[in-house]
Amino acid sequence: METFLNMKKNGSLAIHCVVNGPIQTNTYFAVSGDEAVIIDPAWEGERLAEVLAERCPGARVVAIICTHGHADHIGGVAGLRRALGGDVPFMISEVDAGIMAGAIASMRDMWGFDHEMPPTPDRLLREGDTVAFGDVELQVMATPGHTPGGIVLFCAASTGNVAFVGDTLFPGAHGRTDLEGGSEKQVIDSLGKMGAFLPGDTLCLIGHNDTTIIADELQNNLFMRRGLRHYR
């Protein structure tokens, strides 16, 4: 099946995971050469900047990217910007940029956790966009369902295929769809899209808990297998 993704492996990517925030979100430091991208900073952005300096000394952050607009994935953006400097661009999908304030309010109402509102995004991401750093690039795939504008960030690096999937995919399952803007149909379609276009050996770095690979999900995830019907 023809894909819009560039599958040519190029460059090296190192990944560091920091579990943070009140509901244990996985924040990722993606590092290539002397440049880094921070993905889904959940909480206490200033502390995340300190951890980055400890784990990846000398790495210069060139972007902060959120896979979706829920509070537990955007709550550290403002603090990171203060710690790193206002010139580090914040990126999120155009659709989910519009749900951030409501998502923070919902988290406060449901759980009692208060997250700081991120600054206005510097770049609104759409499917097919790329974010280059070091000698690799992240490719944007639109995967609505958990939120209206959720995205997956795919990287075809010489060190291996990697996808930062946010809360769209969980091992054998998908992210919840009962929050505002969620859609069971859309998330199943998105899982099918991932199964159709991402290589089987793609390591999926998930928003909470453990990792998985696409080949295992094609075998064991009934939701992904249902979604694949749209791509056959």
pLDDT of residue 1: 57
- Provide the mean pLDDT of the chain: 95
Q: Which two tokens stand for residue 231?
A: 């791509």
pLDDT tens, 149-196? Answer: 999 999 999 999 999 999 999 999 999 999 889 999 999 999 999 999
List domains and CATH numbers for the chain: 14-231 (3.60.15.10)
SS3 97: helix
pLDDT value of position 86: 85
- Tell me phi and psi for residue 229, to 5 degrees: -55, -30
Q: How do residues 60-118 score in pLDDT, each as one tens digit?
A: 999 999 999 999 999 999 999 999 988 999 999 999 999 999 999 988 888 788 888 99
Q: What is the predicted pLDDT for the residue at 85?
A: 87
Report, as an integer, the average pLDDT of 200-205. 98
Closest CA to 150 of 92, 226, 231, 103: 92
Q: What pLDDT, in 10s, does the model give residues 105-137?
A: 988 888 788 888 999 999 999 999 999 999 999
